[in-house]
Chain A
Amino acid sequence: DTAVSQTPKYLVTQMGNDKSIKCEQNLGHDTMYWYKQDSKKFLKIMFSYNNKELIINETVPNRFSPKSPDKAHLNLHINSLELGDSAVYFCASSQVPSGGASDTQYFGPGTRLTVL
């Protein structure tokens, strides 16, 4: 009965490789997000999708490409991994994208990516 789930939980890989992280939510939410939390614990938005449509795209290298096959899934593909990509990546979801009073974001457990 997990609300927001991510796989894998841990990912260790070499520089230059391509990897994907998957996210699924069973809350019936319309909007999903990807965040990056760096070694200093700073949590920063990367992307947001509403019903498979990209609505937030922060200044992120184009090596990062989100894909939303349906509104319950938002995957993150990273090409040509670099050392600086090492971080914890959190997926989140919320009911609607308009910022209403009850539109709280719920986070997945995170994927700890280590690039060697």
Chain B
Amino acid sequence: GQNIDQPTEMTATEGAIVQINCTYQTSGFNGLFWYQQHAGEAPTFLSYNVLDGLEEKGRFSSFLSRSKGYSYLLLKELQMKDSASYLCAVRDKAGGGNKLTFGTGTQLKVEL
């Protein structure tokens, strides 16, 4: 089975930087995804890591350490529209290789 842990809620200030952590345990790691989900909407893809290190995409970056079972999503220059839930998801080699298990999500609130 898999355990995925991420904080339930975080609050940050507009213009600041916030780091959302995710720890996981899995027997057949095959990649880690971050998704953003605004209230009442579908999850949308943000980033993907399968090798150790940092992946940067504009204001968003994601880091992975496979040996530590750890990832973080870094959001820079926060904007009010970044207020959303951020879902960490781990892909497992079981189930045809594309089974995603999601964490419970981190609800980020950006304040003025």
Contacts and interface: CB of A to CB of B under 8 A. Distances in A.
A105 B48 CA distance: 11
Interface string B32-45: 01000100011111
Nearest to B91: A99
A106 B85 CA distance: 17
Interface in B54-112: 85, 87, 91, 93, 95-102, 104-105
B31 interface: yes
Contacts of B44: 107
The size bracket of the interface on B is 20 to 34
Contacts of A45: 99-101
Given A41-B85, A99-B91, A56 B43 contact: no
Interface residues of A, number: 27
A21 to B, nearest CB: 14
Nearest to B35: A107
Contact of B104 (A41, A99, A106): A41
Given A41-B104, A55-B95, A104 B41 contact: no
Count chain A CB atoms within 10 A of each CB in B31, B37, B87, B100 and give the residue with the most.
B100
B96 A108 contact: no
A99 B30 contact: yes
A41 B105 contact: yes
Contact of A108 (B31, B42, B93, B95): B42
